[in-house]
Amino acid sequence: MKLSRRDFVKSSLFLGSSFLLSPGFTLAGQKKEEKWIPAYEKLEMEGRLAERVKQAYAIFENCQLCPRKCGVNRKKGEKGFCRAPVKPIIFSYHPHFGEEVSVVGGRGSGTIFFSNCNLRCVFCQNWPIAHEGRGKEVQDEDLADMMLHLQMIGCHNVNLVTPTHVMPNILNATRIALKKGLHLPLFYNTSGYERLEILKTLDGIVDIYKPDMKYMDSEQAVKYSTGASDYPEVAKKAVLEMQRQVGVHKVDHQGIAIRGLMIRHLVMPNRVAGTEKFVKWVAEALPKNTYVNIMAQYRVEYKAYDYPEIARGITEQEFLEAMDWAKKYGLTNLDPQSVALRNFYHHRRSN
Ligand code: SF4
């Protein structure tokens, strides 16, 4: 039986075929796509990446890497709010299939989980890693090798989870890995608690930003994220800067993310996350086709049991009202899994 091209692509995707999902792969006879180059590779070609690594490393001497601005000298072993040493601590690195579809593709997102965190939320779902700092201290060269390993086994990107407090190590490791052949999108997966000045150091290095926008009110940020009263204003400015740097979410001809901004917002019980304000702000401040993932998977973790208003999962109604607000304010690029869940709930209600 002769297979149509669509059938061929479909079956190959199903089988997780590696070559079909490689950025830059083209079918015979098809117009060749412009060769994709990671942002950091272009910066290196311009001779500017080494200087950025140097600038970033200097910040460790008076650590202002995040809005906590502790001012400690991490090179001398002093520790600030995040409790992170000067070397990165890594909990794990592996292909991850729990991210957005365009990031996961057929072979997974090459995820590196960094230990410690500069935000420390009471409902943290990774608390043994983020709060207790479990993991192994490594050299930047080891981190570079992990990036290359993830590339070798076919992952679609290097997904840096909680990168803020180890940004200088990441930059150094990326440059080391680049010299050994790294050619994957660099994916900055952050809580959104980022300083504008620090993000400017990442301009032309990061390909994909995925910030959270956790709350829109200072009161909630103070209560649930260890006194981070400036979180809403800081996160808004950070997201605008990320958008300026990388633009809206872009995929290659196989649907794999190669550049752009993807915002995550976790719906919380009792409207704690300020979801209506969040979607309204996105619709007014960013392009309407900004990729937004409105997530339904809040679960009670860590110290959330001590706060009655967040000591339960969200209801179907709470998720549906969040999706309705996104529609009302005109967002046009919602995560397909969220849309599928909304449609499923609607379908169930109508039967
Ligand atoms: S990265 Fe850590 S030490 Fe540096 S300012 Fe932030 S919380 Fe403080």
Q: Binning pLDDT at 50, 70 and 90, where does residue 28 land?
A: very low
Whose CA is closest to atom 1 on ligand 1?
Answer: 165
pLDDT for the residue numbered 137: 97
CB atoms within 10 A of CB 289: 12
pLDDT for the residue numbered 35: 85
Please calculate the CA angle 293-294-298 and round it to the nearest 5 degrees: 120
Q: What is the DSSP string of 263-307?
A: EEEE--GGGTT-HHHHHHHHHHHS-TT-EEEEE------GGGGG-
Q: Ligand 1 pocket check: which of 81, 86, 164, 195 to mutate, most ligand atoms within 8 Å of Cβ?
A: 81
Using DSSP, how many helices (H) and how many strands (E) does the chain show?
13, 9
- Give the E-state strand segments of the chain in sequence order: 89-96, 109-114, 136-137, 158-161, 186-190, 208-211, 250-251, 257-266, 291-295
Determine whether the shortest distance from the Cβ of 70 to ligand 1 is under 6 A.
yes
CA distance 202 to 242: 9
Q: Binning pLDDT at 50, 70 and 90, where does residue 130 land?
A: very high
Q: Print burial letters for 184-223: b (CB count within 10 Å at least 16), e (below 16).
A: bbbbbbbbbbbbeebbebbebbbbbbbbbbbbbeeebbeb
Give the mean model confidence (pLDDT) for residues 8-21. Answer: 34
In this predicted structure, the answer to whether residue 2 has a pLDDT above a threshold of 50 is no
pLDDT tens for residues 200-241? 999 999 999 999 999 999 999 999 999 999 999 999 999 999
Whose CA is closest to atom 3 on ligand 1?
Answer: 80
CA distance 253 to 21: 9
CA distance 113 to 228: 22
Give the mean model confidence (pLDDT) for residues 155-183. Answer: 98
Give the mean model confidence (pLDDT) for residues 190-205. Answer: 98
What Rg, from alpha-carbon coordinates, does the chain have? 20
In this predicted structure, the answer to whether residue 141 has a pLDDT above a threshold of 50 is yes
pLDDT for the residue numbered 98: 94
Q: Ligand 1 pocket check: which of 57, 61, 72, 191 to mutate, most ligand atoms within 8 Å of Cβ?
A: 72
Atom of ligand 1 nearest to the CA of 81: 7
Retrieve residue 225's tokens. 């994220």
Q: Binning pLDDT at 50, 70 and 90, where does residue 351 land?
A: confident
Sign of the torsion angle spanned by Cα atoms 98, 102, 105, 211: negative
Determine whether the shortest distance from the Cβ of 68 to ligand 1 is under 6 A.
yes
CA distance 170 to 188: 10
CA distance 41 to 255: 22
Residue with tokens 């930059």: 171
Give the mean model confidence (pLDDT) for residues 120-139. Answer: 95
pLDDT > 90: what percent of the chain?
89
Report the chain's mean pLDDT, rounded to a whole number.
Answer: 92
Nearest to 306 by CA among 117, 123, 120, 128: 123
pLDDT for the residue numbered 188: 98
Retrieve residue 240's tokens. 């605008």
pLDDT for the residue numbered 293: 98
Determine whether the shortest distance from the Cβ of 88 to ligand 1 is under 6 A.
no
Determine whether the shortest distance from the Cβ of 69 to ligand 1 is under 6 A.
yes
Determine whether the shortest distance from the Cβ of 63 to ligand 1 is under 6 A.
yes
pLDDT for the residue numbered 217: 97
pLDDT tens for residues 92-110? 999 999 999 999 999 999 9
SS3 state of residue 259: strand
pLDDT for the residue numbered 26: 38
pLDDT > 70: what percent of the chain?
90
Give the mean model confidence (pLDDT) for residues 283-296. Answer: 98
pLDDT for the residue numbered 33: 57
Nearest to 122 by CA among 190, 220, 217: 220
pLDDT for the residue numbered 13: 34
Model-level pTM?
Answer: 0.90
Question: Are residues 179 and 14 in contact, defined by beta-carbon separation less than 8 angstroms?
Answer: no
Question: Are residues 90 and 113 in contact, defined by beta-carbon separation less than 8 angstroms?
Answer: yes
In this predicted structure, the answer to whether residue 6 has a pLDDT above a threshold of 60 is no
pLDDT for the residue numbered 210: 98
SS3 state of residue 40: helix
In this predicted structure, the answer to whether residue 5 has a pLDDT above a threshold of 70 is no
CA distance 325 to 321: 6
pLDDT tens for residues 233-265? 999 999 999 999 999 999 999 999 999 999 999
Whose CA is closest to atom 2 on ligand 1?
Answer: 82
Among the residue ranges 32-36, 67-71, 222-226, 267-271, the one predicted with the least confidence is 32-36
Query: Who's near 34: CB < 8 A, 6+ residues apart?
Result: none
Q: Binning pLDDT at 50, 70 and 90, where does residue 7 land?
A: very low
